[in-house]
């Protein structure tokens, strides 16, 4: 086994420690940025839905602030955003390099994308359901949590999966500001030192990661759709 | 009781202003089944949505179950609409159930959870909620479907779930927005029977909007006819059927009356309805008191007129019969005038249909 690996991916084994560190860094960036992206994106998506024209709490000012923020950061290419945000990142977390320094631009890169996706998912919730809930005396929070978010769960799972996958793409680019991770490992040790096997392994690792996310996403999206006969309330 | 006074609502659309309600005043007593009929765009949906303030009117006073939802106050700038506070409004809405054309159930919740929706977060224990939901499902005859999702139900069943949900907090009023328009005839009848049963059993006041006169005919006691944002005619359903005043009301009645065939026959000039000389094509209307009287033989005996029956029909409006016969009266001028006088005396409605053809 070892001999086989030695033959196939000699350079990966030579740099195995650095390779594992890179994987950890990618996972760290993904997890930290992912959590913040999820929270902020969900929040902004809900805010856009609620404050839009004809929304349940129409508010022009708040709507346009979030709308403009989303549009501006969505139109800046991520690699530029990385450099652009360096001073801000340094002021916020004390450094602009490493995992810590990469998380801030990652969040700025992914939140607008996710916000739009959440907004679309919530827009697909039938207005009739909102109207029915209002007629039953539900207030703004009731409408958000018990109708919008509740009815959109399968769709939200789907868009979360899409965002997670694109976030992986962004983490590899964050290597450009010295964040480390699989992306910079592939460039610095694979491409620059001309070790094709390192590049190949990085591709495979990322591929597996994306596949796992997609499979999980599909599974939960299907599971939460609840259209088939489920007799979990047998006892009633 | 629901009281609407001088209600106005205008929608400002890009294509121009649409007056959905123009000085509408209605009074709906407790326990009534009040139908509001009109073509699409007549403003009936807006009107019913103003009753629970899903739509906020521009002006007007709305009082439901003794709670004043909107009122007009005098300010320096003239009269202004004042709306009840959000918290009180949400409280008031618990006393006003509503059902919709497309049911609006939560797809991701079971029938049980859908019905439990208005009960949750209102300080009730799980046990209480469970008990109440089962009572409600029993009321709409769906106890065996508690654990099922809406997608597995038929349209009629979905509407029954929606009715159970609307009744969860024991409302005194149920608003029905075209609740049977998306259903097949059989399901429509079942839902209407259920509404009738709930009205009788719970004393529920029902405000029902529809574009089908058959719905009004089968369950309503009172009806308001709407056209271009205005209530053009309203009153007791039987009276409206017996003495419609507006053209639009007649048109609606014709949609459910077998006698409306006559209009087609006249238009096609069928020999059966051709008249000549002093002949009159007449529609006779018999209300419950006079139905069954041998009026036809009486008039041909008393006066020198012959009576050809073209069409005849008896409608049941609620539980009262409304008879209609279309006849051709043949005889001399004097006899016909006497006949009309007699008909008026015995309170049989007589309407001459194609006078212009008598030439």
Domains assigned to chain B: 2-95+170-255 (3.40.50.300), 258-357 (3.30.70.260)
A153 touches chain B (CB under 8 A): yes
Which residue among A138, A151, A231 sits closest to B108, beta carbon to beta carbon?
A: A151
DSSP state of B245: -
Other Cβ atoms closer than 10 A to B351: 11
Name the pLDDT band for A191 (thresholds 50, 70, 90).
confident
Q: Do B90 and A139 touch (CB under 8 A)?
A: yes
Which site among A132, A156, A226 would you substitute to test the B interface, given the most B Cβ atoms closer than 10 Å to its Cβ? A132
Which CATH number characterizes residue A20's domain? 1.10.3720.10
Residues 121-140 of A with CB under 8 A from B: 126, 128-129, 131-139
d(CA B6, CA B23): 4
Query: Is residue A234, in this structure, part of any structural domain at all?
Result: no
User: What's the domain count of chain A?
Assistant: 1
Best residue of B97, B103, B106, B165 to probe chain A, by most A CBs closer than 10 Å: B106
Question: Per mean pLDDT, which of A73-87, A122-136, B336-350 is the most reliable?
Answer: A122-136
Cα–Cα distance for residue pair A51/B187, rounded to 1 Å: 39
Backbone phi and psi for residue B57, each to the nearest 5 degrees, phi listed first: -70, 165
**CB within 8 Å of B104: residues ≥ 6 apart:** A126, A128, A129, A131, A132, B162
- pTM of structure: 0.88
Answer whether B93 touches A (CB < 8 Å): yes
What is the sign of the dihedral through the CA atoms of B134, B138, B141 and B143? Answer: positive
Distance from CA of A128 to the nearest CA of B (A): 5
- The upper half-sphere exposure of residue A220, i.e. CA atoms within 13 Å in the direction of its Cβ, equals 15
Domain that residue A85 falls in: 2-225
Angle at A135 between CA A133 and CA A140, to 5 degrees: 50
Indicate if the pLDDT at residue B22 is higher than 80: yes
| pLDDT given for residue B70 in this prediction | 94
User: Does A149 map to a domain?
Assistant: yes
Dist. CA B284–CA B302, nearest whole Å: 17
Over residues B267-295, the pLDDT tens digits come to 888 888 887 777 888 888 888 766 555 78
Residue A233 has pLDDT above 50, yes or no: no
Phi, psi of B37, deg, nearest 5:
-120, 145
Cβ distance A150 to B91 less than 8 Å, yes or no, reads no
Instruction: Read off φ and ψ for residue B33, nearest 5 degrees.
Output: -110, 105
pLDDT cut 90: percent of chain A above it? 68
Distance from CA of B294 to the nearest CA of A (A): 53
Decide if A103 is inside a domain: yes
* Orientation of helix A16-51 relative to helix A60-75, angle to 10°: 150
Question: Using CB atoms and an 8 Å cut-off, which of residues 145-174 of chain B contact chain A?
Answer: 146-149, 151-152, 162, 165-166, 168-169
Q: Provide the pLDDT confidence category of residue B126 given band limits of 50, 70 and 90.
A: very high
- Tell me B286's DSSP state: E
pLDDT, chain B, mean: 90
Would you say B60 and B24 are in contact if contact means Cβ atoms under 8 Å apart?
yes
ipTM associated with this complex? 0.87
For residue B29, the surrounding DSSP H or E stretch is: none
Asked whether residue A49 is assigned to any structural domain, the reply reads: yes
Where are the alpha helices (H) located in B53-179, listed in sequence order?
A: 86-93, 111-116, 126-139, 155-166
A92 lies in a domain? yes
Integer Cα distance of A48 and B111 in angstroms = 31
Average the pLDDT over each of A20-34, B29-43, B335-349 and give the range with the smallest value: B335-349
User: Rounded to whole angstroms, what are the CA distances from A164 to A43, A75, A85, A160, B211?
Assistant: 17, 19, 21, 6, 50
Q: In A, which residues are within 8 Å of B169 by CB distance?
A: 136-137
The dihedral built from the CA positions of residue A24, A27, A30 and A35, taken in this order, carries a sign that is negative
User: Half-sphere exposure (CA, 13 Å, Cβ side) for B62?
Assistant: 27
CA-to-CA distance for A155 and A173, rounded, in angstroms? 28
Tens of pLDDT along B76-116?
888 889 999 999 999 999 999 999 999 999 999 999 999 99
Q: Is the pLDDT of residue B263 over 90?
A: no
Residues A3-58 have pLDDT tens digits of 888 888 888 888 889 899 999 999 999 999 999 999 999 999 999 999 999 899 99
The count of residues in chain A is: 236
């Amino acid at each position: 086994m070892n001999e086989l690996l030695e033959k196939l991916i000699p350079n990966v084994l030579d740099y195995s420690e650095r390779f594992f560190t890179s994987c950890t860094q990618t996972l760290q960036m993904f997890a930290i940025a992912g959590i913040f992206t999820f929270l902020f994106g969900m929040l902004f998506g809900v805010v856009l839905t609620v404050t839009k024209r004809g929304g349940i709490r129409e508010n022009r000012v708040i709507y346009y602030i979030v709308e403009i923020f989303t549009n501006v950061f969505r139109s800046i290419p991520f690699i530029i955003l990385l450099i652009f945000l360096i001073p801000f990142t340094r002021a916020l977390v004390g450094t602009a390099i490493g995992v810590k320094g990469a998380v801030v631009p990652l969040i700025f890169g992914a939140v607008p994308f996710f916000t739009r996706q959440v907004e679309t998912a919530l827009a697909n919730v039938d207005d009739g359901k909102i109207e029915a809930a209002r007629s039953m005396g539900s207030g703004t929070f009731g409408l958000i949590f018990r109708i919008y978010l509740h009815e959109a769960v399968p769709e939200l799972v789907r868009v979360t999966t899409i965002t997670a996958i694109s976030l992986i793409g962004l983490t590899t680019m964050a290597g450009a500001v010295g964040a480390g991770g699989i992306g910079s490992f592939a460039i610095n040790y694979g491409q620059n030192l001309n070790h094709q096997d390192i590049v190949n392994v990085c591709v495979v690792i990322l591929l597996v990661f994306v596949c796992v996310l997609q499979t999980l996403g599909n599974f939960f999206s299907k599971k939460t759709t609840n259209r088939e006969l489920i007799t979990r309330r047998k006892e009633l | 009781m629901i009281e609407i006074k001088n209600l106005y609502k205008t929608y400002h659309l890009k294509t121009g202003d649409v007056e959905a309600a123009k000085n509408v005043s209605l009074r709906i007593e407790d326990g009534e089944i009040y139908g509001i009929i009109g073509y699409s765009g007549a403003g009936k949906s807006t009107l019913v949505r103003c009753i629970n303030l899903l739509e906020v009117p521009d002006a007007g006073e709305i009082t439901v179950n003794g709670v004043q939802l909107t009122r007009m106050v005098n300010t320096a700038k003239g009269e202004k609409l004042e709306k009840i506070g959000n918290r009180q409004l949400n409280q008031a809405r618990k006393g006003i159930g509503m059902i919709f054309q497309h049911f609006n159930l939560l797809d991701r919740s079971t029938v049980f959870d859908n019905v439990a929706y208005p009960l949750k977060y209102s300080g009730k224990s799980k046990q209480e909620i469970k008990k109440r939901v089962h009572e409600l499902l029993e009321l709409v005859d769906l106890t065996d479907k508690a654990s099922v999702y809406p997608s597995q139900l038929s349209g009629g069943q979905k509407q029954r779930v929606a009715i159970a949900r609307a009744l969860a907090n024991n409302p005194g009023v149920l608003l029905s927005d075209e609740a049977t328009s998306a259903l097949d005839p059989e399901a429509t009848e079942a839902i209407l029977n259920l509404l009738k049963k709930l009205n009788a059993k719970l004393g529920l006041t029902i405000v029902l909007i529809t574009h089908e006169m058959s719905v009004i005919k089968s369950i309503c006691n009172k009806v308001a006819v709407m056209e271009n944002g205005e209530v053009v005619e309203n009153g007791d359903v039987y009276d409206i059927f017996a003495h419609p005043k507006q053209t639009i009301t007649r048109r609606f009645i014709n949609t459910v009356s077998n006698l409306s065939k006559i209009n087609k026959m006249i238009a096609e000039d069928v020999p059966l309805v051709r008249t000549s000389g002093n002949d009159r094509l007449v529609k006779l209307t018999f209300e419950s008191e006079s139905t069954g009287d041998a009026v036809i033989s009486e008039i041909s005996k008393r006066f020198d007129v012959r009576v050809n029956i073209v069409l005849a029909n008896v409608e049941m409006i609620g539980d009262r019969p409304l008879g209609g016969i279309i006849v051709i009266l043949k005889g001399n001028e004097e006899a016909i005038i006497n006949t009309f006088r007699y008909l008026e005396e015995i309170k049989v409605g007589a309407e001459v249909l194609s006078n212009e053809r008598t030439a």
